[in-house]
Every structure is written in structure tokens, then in C-alpha cells.
Structure 1
Amino acid sequence: MKITDLELHAVGIPRHTGFVNKHVIVKIHTDEGLTGIGEMSDFSHLPLYSVDLHDLKQGLLSILLGQNPFDLMKINKELTDNFPETMYYYEKGSFIRNGIDNALHDLCAKYLDISVSDFLGGRVKEKIKVCYPIFRHRFSEEVESNLDVVRQKLEQGFDVFRLYVGKNLDADEEFLSRVKEEFGSRVRIKSYDFSHLLNWKDAHRAIKRLTKYDLGLEMIESPAPRNDFDGLYQLRLKTDYPISEHVWSFKQQQEMIKKDAIDIFNISPVFIGGLTSAKKAAYAAEVASKDVVLGTTQELSVGTAAMAHLGCSLTNINHTSDPTGPELYVGDVVKNRITYKDGYLYAPDRSVKGLGIELDESLLAKYQVPDLSWDNVTVHQLQDRTADTKS
């Protein structure tokens, strides 16, 4: 089997918050008549540069044409050589590698007539406990709207939430107090996500303040500037809660292991460059006796399906994970959206080959956008991908 062509389709799909996220749907064609699909997820984030799809397609074709899709390690090396790691977790080269690698996994599994999770080594579970994100409070007026999100999602079966914190601690504290008062043990807040906004000393003070409202807290996420391994280590010594950080390069993961800086690796294919790299990062975590949580940039159903196959094939996911992206959007580009039930993400039926997700060409056309260029947005929107309701 040889790769004969590549298609890249840019789509823009609004979130329920009003912010429009742009993604790229990948199709890899072969001389066997099979097509693999993937997703380059969430280009609508910092850094503020866009990708020219025509140039990207020509560059990727120079790497992929004539290749055997089963040569995953060879192709991934060539992709990394051309779209290298940069020690920054929103590096768009990782998004590009992720979309191609996931499409290759879909293609190989389809050729073998098996699911992607079986291609990854088989399943140890059929579902993953996940949480719904509560976006960062800038103003106290946003507390009530975030409480409404908890109410709505609890009715839909989501009982665990991840709270972005650190911008307005008074509002964060008010939100936590009211969640505890209204919902009690029916709702858990699995993590406080600082998203690298504070230095470790300020994060430590914030943690002491917010952990008065421990609602099942499993971890503290990203409580120091990016790549501040010493800061993560210092904070880890001073708090009883596990510290988690995203993995966005193997060099960065190596430094976190060497410094013993964290307890839980947050691993997501989009940040590390695909299923091949994510699996390697998860195995490295296991060797280092660290737990893993499956992270997210809030993918559509294609990208989330890839993550579900990965998560259900790993043995060291011992915490509530994050992939609830399809629930955040008003639409999708597939015929069969990924399944959530009672706060769990279910992997697609393993009897369906490949990712188990089928594109809907009419929806792909509906949400198609001409390019990945930027509209007028604020830094706040780019950081949290929410509507700019108040400046």
C-alpha cells in the first residue's frame, strides 16, 4: 500500500461560548482505495501566526507521497525533522504532525480490518472518566454563568469539572464556595488549572486559598511558567496535592523526570505530535513511575476518537481525563459523533475498523472556511477560547 494523495480541509466551528475554533480535517489516500482521516486540532490559539494550507499540503506531500503508511516511525521522524519540537505546547507543528499520524493510524487499522485501539495493542478498558472545563473567571459577574454550566452539564451526566483559575482569585473562591453549597458531593472539581499564568510562589499562595474548597481535588495543573522545572519541583515539595503538567516535547518530559518535578504527566496527541509520540510519552511515564492523565485542546469527534482509542489502550491512566471537546461545539463534521454517557468517554465500537468515525461531507462543506487566518480577537479569547463579553 502506497500513499497517493493528501487533502486538507479547514473548518471553523463555533463553541457554545461563541468563539469559533478552526481545525483541519486530513484525508490520506492510497493506491488500495483506502482513505485515512485525521484532525489537526484547534489552530485558534497562540502563537499568533497562521498556516498557509496550500504550502502545507505541498510540503506534506513531499514527505508522504509513495510512502508505505505502515512505516510509522520513519514517517514520524521525517515529520519531526520538518516540523520540529520547540518546547512550547501550542506549537502548531505538533498539531500538524498529530493530524497526519492519526490519519496514518486510521489507514493502517482499516487495511488490517481492526480498530485503532487494537492496532495500538488492544484495550484495557472501554471507557474513560472525563471532566468538563469551567473557563477562567475574569470578573465576579461570570460566576453565575459558570454555575449555570455546572447545572446544565450535571443534568447531562457530567459530575466532574476542571476549573481554570488564577486570573481572579476572589471570583474563583466565590465559585467554589457556591458549588460546594449548592451541589455538595454530587459534583467534583478534579483540578485547578493555572495554565502557567503565575510563578510557583504565587501559585502556592493561591492553592492554599482555594484548597479550602476541596471538592474531590485530584491534582494541580501547570502551576508555574512553561519549562520552569525547578519551580514545579519547589511547589511539589510544598503541597500535598499531586502536580500535573502537559508533555509538549520529549526533551521537556526528560527534564521533568530528571528534576522529579511532577507527579502526573498530562499527555495529549495534539501537543506531542500524534498517537505514535503520545504512546511513547505514556510509556516513558510508566518507566518513571508517574501517572498519566489524557489531556486535550478540545478536539472535534475525529481527534477525540483517536484519544479515546489511545486512552483505552493505556494501563497507567489513573485519574479523570479531559477530552470533552465535542460537547463544547455547536456542530461537528462526522456522521457518528463520539459517545459520552454518565461522565465517561466511550471508545468507538472495536468491531468498526479504523478510528470508527465517518466524515459527513455535507457538514464538512457547511463548516468549511477558506483559510486559517485570524479574525479580530483579544488575548483573553486566544488563551481561553471564550467570547469576549467584557473588556
Structure 2
Amino acid sequence: MKISEIRLTVVGIPRSTGFVSKHVIVELDTDEGLTGIGEMSDFSHLPHYAVDVFDLKHSLEDILLGKNPFDISLINKELTANFPEANFYYEKGNFIRNGVDAALHDLCAKALNISVADLIGGRIQEKIKVCFPIFRHRFMEEVEENLAVVRTRLAQGFDTYRLYVGKNLDADEAFLDGVKSEFGSKVTIKSLDFSHLLDWKSALQATKRLSKYEFQMVESPAVQNDFDGLHHFRIKADHPVSEHVWSFRQQYEMIRHDSVDIFNISPIFIGGITSARKAAAAAEVAGKGCLMGTTQELSIGTAAMAHLGSSLVNLNYTSDPTGPELYIADIVKNPVKYENGYLLVPGRDRPGLGMELDWNLIEQYRVKDLSWGQVSVHQLQDRTTQTK
């Protein structure tokens, strides 16, 4: 079996906030009539530049056409040579490799008539505990809006939340106080997520201020790649520290500096299921826990994470992939499902990732390219349409 054609389709799907996130649907056809699909998820990140999809398609054709899709390791080696790790959180090359790698796994599992989870080692669990994101407060009036989000989502079964913090601590504190007063033990705050906005000393001060409220961990409480600062924060903080893995060199440095307790591992940020499995194995060897992070994927990308998470022996913390719940639409006929705060892993009766494209929806949301035009930096950072 050989890869015979590559198609990249760009869609722009609005979030419930009104912000439009752009994704690339990857299709890999073979000479035996099978097609694997993947997702280059949510290019709406800093740095503020876009990939040329026409050039990207031709680059991937040079790498992939004529290859055996089961040569996943060899293909990933070539993808990394062409789209190398840059030691940066939102590196677009990782997004590209992730989409192709997911399509390869989908294609190979379909060829064997098994699920991706079974392809990569089998299922340890059929559902994964997830949390719902509460996006960063910039203004005090957003507190009540976010409390309303908790009311709505709690009624839908989401009882655990990740709170982005660090821009307006007064509002962060008001929100946590509101959660405690209104919901009590019904709601769990999984983490305070600083997203590298503050240096470690400022993040430590903020964490101490907010520690009167209960939360399980602190995420990204230092500037990117400040391994010493992350270590100092971890030593002085009373809560476990989590950080994303966006390159193997960065993960090595975090292990060497003993900077974290929990590795936040997501295929989108490390470059695919193949790389994510390596990162999880390195975490296991280092005696660290894992959770699955997110960039807020659509159902294809989220299904890939569900299959990955179902096979990990050290996925021992609440994970983040609730992306499909944040968008007003999806691009598949059978979106992933959530039940009582858990992401359900697609069943064994659906080979590959278990996703089927819906071309009516794709045509409705198709856009010509990944350009962001006049979108401002803070809109990209906070995924908002508000400019006040």
C-alpha cells in the first residue's frame, strides 16, 4: 500500500465566543482505495504568522507520495527534518506533523480494521476525565459571565475546571470566591494556568494570593523555557506543577532540572501521536505524572487524543481536551461524545480514529487560507472578539 494523494482543506469554525479558529483537515489517499484523515488543529496562536497551504501541500507531497503509510517512524523522521522542533510552545511545525501523523495512524488502523487505540497498544480505559476551560479574565465584568459558564456546564456534567489566570488577579480571585460560595464541593478547580504570562516570582506571589481557594495544581508558572525558574517555583509552591511538552530537548531539560511534577502532553504541541507516546514514556521513566493538554481541537484531533490517552499507563491526572464543546459546529458526522465530565473513547466498532467527514459542514465552513488578517495579538492570545 502506497500513499497516492494528499489533500489539505482549511476550515474556519467560530467558537461560542465568536472568535474563529482555523484548522486544516488532512486526507491521505492510497493506491488501495483507503483514506486516512487527520487534523492540524487551531492555527489561531501566537506567533502572529500563517502557513501558506499551497506551499505546504507541495512540501508534504515531496515527503509522503509513494511511501508506505505503515512506515510511521521513518515518515516522522523525515517530517521532523523538514518541520523541526523550534523549542517554542506554539510552533507551527508541530501542528503540521501532528495532522499528518494522525492521518497515518487513522489510515493504518483502517487497513487492519482496528481502532487507533488498538494499533498503538490497546485500551487501558474507555473514558478519560476532562476539565472545562474558564478563559482568562481581563475585566471584572467577565467574572459573572464565567460563573454563568460554570452553571451551564455543570448542568451538562462538567464538574472540573481549568482557570486561566494572571492578567487580572482581582477578577481571578472574585471568580474563585464566586465558585466557592455558589457551588462548594460540587465543583473542582483542577488548575491555575498562567500560560507563561508571568515570571516565576510573580506567578508564585499570585499563587499564594489565590491559595485560600482549593485547586489541584499550577500550570506554566514561568516564562517559556525558564527551567531554573520553573524549578524554583516548584520548590517554593505547595501545589504540584505542570508544564506542557513542546520538544524533546525541552522535556529533557525539565527532567534534568527537576522542574515539574506533571507533564502536560498533547499531540498538537509535540508533533503527533508518535511523539506524544515517546514523551509519555519519558515521563514514566522519570517518575512523573501525565495529563493530556489541548489547543481546543475539533473532533478529529480530540479523537486522536482519546485513543492516545486510552493506551497510556501513566495518564493519572484530569486532562484538558474539551475543544468540540467550545465550537458552534464540527466537520464530522459523528462528533466525539462527553458523559458526566468524561471524554468517551470512540468504540472498537469504528476503525481508525472513528471519525467520518461531513462534507456539507466542511463546505459551509471552508476558507481559502490560514491568514489572520487584522486580528490583534491579544485576540489571538485570549481567543476573544472583544477589544475593550
Distance in 1 of aligned mates of 2:189 and 2:147 = 13
* Residue of structure 2 equivalent to 1:244: 242
Distance in 2 of aligned mates of 1:101 and 1:91 = 16
Quote how far apart the aligned CAs of 1:49 are: 1.1
Report matched runs for 1:216-235 at 5 Å: 217-235=215-233
* Residue of structure 2 equivalent to 1:320: 318
* Residue of structure 2 equivalent to 1:20: 20
* Residue of structure 1 equivalent to 2:141: 141
Q: In the alignment, residue 200 of structure 1 is paired with which amino acid?
A: W
Distance in 1 of aligned mates of 2:374 and 2:53 = 20
* Residue of structure 2 equivalent to 1:36: 36
Report matched runs for 1:10-89 at 5 Å: 10-89=10-89
Quote how far apart the aligned CAs of 1:165 are: 0.2
* Residue of structure 2 equivalent to 1:159: 159
Q: Is the 8 A contact 2:48 2:377 kept in 1?
A: no
Report matched runs for 1:229-308 at 5 Å: 229-308=227-306
Number of equivalenced pairs: 388
Q: Is the 8 A contact 2:130 2:341 kept in 1?
A: yes
Q: In the alignment, residue 304 of structure 2 is paired with which amino acid?
A: A
Q: In the alignment, residue 358 of structure 2 is paired with which amino acid?
A: D
Quote how far apart the aligned CAs of 1:219 are: 1.0
Q: Is the 8 A contact 1:265 1:293 kept in 2?
A: yes
Q: In the alignment, residue 119 of structure 1 is paired with which amino acid?
A: L
Quote how far apart the aligned CAs of 1:45 are: 1.1
Q: Which structure 2 segments of 5+ residues have no match?
A: none
Q: In the alignment, residue 266 of structure 1 is paired with which amino acid?
A: N
SS at match of 2:338: strand
Q: In the alignment, residue 329 of structure 2 is paired with which amino acid?
A: G
Runs (4+) of structure 1 exceeding 6 A deviation are: none
Quote how far apart the aligned CAs of 1:375 are: 2.8
Q: In the alignment, residue 83 of structure 1 is paired with which amino acid?
A: F
TM-score (norm 2): 0.99
Quote how far apart the aligned CAs of 1:175 are: 0.5
**Aligned equivalent of 2:373, options 370, 375, 385:** 375
SS at match of 2:151: helix
SS at match of 2:58: helix
Distance in 1 of aligned mates of 2:375 and 2:169 = 24
Distance in 1 of aligned mates of 2:216 and 2:268 = 23
Distance in 1 of aligned mates of 2:196 and 2:372 = 24
Q: Is the 8 A contact 1:132 1:322 kept in 2?
A: yes
Quote how far apart the aligned CAs of 1:48 are: 1.1
Distance in 2 of aligned mates of 1:311 and 1:287 = 17
SS at match of 1:7: strand
Distance in 2 of aligned mates of 1:152 and 1:3 = 45
Q: Is the 8 A contact 2:297 2:321 kept in 1?
A: yes
Distance in 2 of aligned mates of 1:350 and 1:126 = 10
Q: Is the 8 A contact 1:5 1:29 kept in 2?
A: yes
Quote how far apart the aligned CAs of 1:352 are: 1.2
Q: Is the 8 A contact 1:134 1:164 kept in 2?
A: yes
* Residue of structure 2 equivalent to 1:309: 307
Quote how far apart the aligned CAs of 1:173 are: 0.3
Report matched runs for 1:91-106 at 5 Å: 91-106=91-106
Per-residue CA shift, 1:164-220, capped at 9, x if unaligned? 000000000000001100000011110000000111111111000111111xx2210
Q: Which structure 1 segments of 5+ residues have no match?
A: none
Q: In the alignment, residue 133 of structure 2 is paired with which amino acid?
A: P
Distance in 1 of aligned mates of 2:21 and 2:97 = 19
SS at match of 2:70: coil
SS at match of 1:212: coil
Q: In the alignment, residue 15 of structure 1 is paired with which amino acid?
A: R
Distance in 1 of aligned mates of 2:90 and 2:256 = 23
Q: Is the 8 A contact 2:191 2:216 kept in 1?
A: yes
Distance in 2 of aligned mates of 1:186 and 1:375 = 42
Distance in 1 of aligned mates of 2:264 and 2:220 = 10
Quote how far apart the aligned CAs of 1:365 are: 0.8
Distance in 2 of aligned mates of 1:227 and 1:53 = 29
Report matched runs for 1:170-185 at 5 Å: 170-185=170-185
Q: In the alignment, residue 2 of structure 2 is paired with which amino acid?
A: K
* Residue of structure 1 equivalent to 2:128: 128
* Residue of structure 1 equivalent to 2:336: 338
Q: Is the 8 A contact 1:339 1:346 kept in 2?
A: yes
Quote how far apart the aligned CAs of 1:351 are: 2.0
TM-score (norm 1): 0.99
Q: Output the aligned Cα RMSD.
A: 0.6
Quote how far apart the aligned CAs of 1:122 are: 0.1
Distance in 2 of aligned mates of 1:293 and 1:123 = 16
Q: In the alignment, residue 288 of structure 1 is paired with which amino acid?
A: A
What is the percent sequence identity of the aligned residues? Answer: 69
Q: Is the 8 A contact 2:40 2:98 kept in 1?
A: yes
Q: Is the 8 A contact 1:218 1:319 kept in 2?
A: no
